[in-house]
């Protein structure tokens, strides 16, 4: 199995959206590798609390910045990771214009930064570019089945445009770019109210409330623990590959199975209820990760059982810490 070495010595990286769920874990793992990190975030969906534990690290710098306006980073930069964007349906349905702007203008500005600095550039794209897929599992060669004027189109098309722009910079400007298509990821630091299934189910189970499963729960997702996702992202970032490349867990389960599993893991007495299926909600979602396995030697190592147990424990600890103390 061919595994590519580092593109160059990466000493300093810029992470946009670095105070978000996924971005904060990226910052953490980069610092662990000895890479200095400049974290840019406008805190639209991210939070300084996600990187509070990194603030005393000598190699970490947090800058409030909206990449749709202007991006300036003094000094050398070896790697730019563009992860700024609302990423949950609840967020991008509330902020459609902001989502489109960060996928277009934000990508343009961060590509300009990478070109100026001679840096490697990694775009965080998404499995949403496949839409409600007619191919299963989804390979990188699949063009997708996206409704551009549906409610999810603002996110799907923003990412599809950002992929086209990233490719144009590589082919016409010579910028060293790569594209990662990230599938459903979960773990500590997810916002409990961000509308995604796992934090919603865990929060409901811990509160003893009914778990709200959309449709009949037969729709499937493939969930990948955040440590594995970030390891895959960085394997691509430090390689010579251009992508697009799927990073996700090929193990597939239905939403009803996921809800029942979380009830069991939390020891909850919650029942399962059903709500209407959102418009254009994909019926299936599973990555073909052959390319990542062959090119990067990457595959997930954290089982869903272990990852969900860690995630439940984190949410339970957060809930306990927030509970009012008896005097």
Q: In sequence order, what are the beta bridge partners of 57?
A: none
For residue 182, give Cα distances in angstroms to 130, 168, 241: 11, 21, 16
Tell me which residues are annotated as active site. Answer: 155
Compute CA 99 distance to the chain's CA centroid, rounded to the nearest angstrom.
14
Q: How many Cβ atoms sit within 10 Å of the Cβ of residue 133?
A: 19
- Preceding amide of 97 cis, omega within 30: no
For residue 159, give Cα distances in angstroms to 75, 83, 110, 289, 295: 29, 11, 14, 20, 23
d(CA 57, CA 198): 31
Q: What is the largest CA-CA distance in the chain?
A: 66
Which of 15, 180, 196 has the alpha carbon at shortest distance from 89?
A: 196
Q: In sequence order, what are the beta bridge partners of 37?
A: 13, 60
Which of 218, 312, 315 has the alpha carbon at shortest distance from 274?
A: 218
């Amino acid at each position: 199995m061919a595994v590519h070495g580092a593109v160059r010595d990466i000493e300093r990286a810029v992470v946009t959206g670095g105070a978000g769920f996924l971005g904060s874990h990226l910052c953490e793992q980069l610092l662990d590798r000895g890479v200095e990190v400049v974290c840019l975030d406008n805190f639209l969906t991210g939070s300084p609390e996600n990187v509070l534990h990194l603030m005393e690290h000598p190699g970490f710098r947090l800058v409030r910045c909206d990449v749709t306006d202007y991006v300036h980073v003094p000094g050398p930069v070896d790697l730019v990771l563009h992860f700024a964007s609302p990423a949950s349906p609840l967020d991008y349905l509330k902020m459609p214009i902001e989502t489109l702007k960060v996928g277009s203008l934000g990508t343009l500005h961060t590509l300009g930064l990478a070109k100026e600095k001679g840096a490697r550039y990694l775009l965080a794209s998404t499995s949403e570019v496949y839409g409600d897929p007619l191919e299963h599992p989804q390979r990188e060669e699949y063009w997708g089945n996206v409704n551009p004027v549906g409610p999810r189109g603002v996110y799907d098309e923003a990412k599809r445009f950002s992929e086209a722009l990233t490719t144009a910079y590589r082919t016409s400007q010579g910028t060293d770019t790569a594209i990662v298509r990230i599938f459903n990821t979960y773990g500590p630091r997810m916002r409990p109210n961000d509308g995604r299934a796992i934090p919603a189910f865990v929060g409901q189970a811990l509160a003893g409330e009914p778990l709200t499963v959309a449709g009949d729960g037969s729709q499937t997702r493939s969930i990948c623990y955040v440590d594995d996702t970030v390891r895959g992202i960085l394997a691509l970032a430090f390689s010579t590959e251009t992508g697009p490349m799927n990073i996700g867990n090929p193990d597939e389960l239905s939403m009803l199975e996921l809800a029942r599993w979380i009830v069991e893991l939390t020891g909850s007495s919650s029942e399962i209820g059903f709500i209407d299926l959102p418009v254009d909600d994909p019926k299936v979602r599973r990555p073909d990760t052959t390319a990542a396995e062959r090119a990067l030697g990457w595959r997930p190592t954290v089982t869903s059982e272990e990852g969900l147990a860690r995630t439940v424990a984190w949410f339970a600890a957060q809930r306990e810490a927030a509970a009012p103390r008896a005097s």
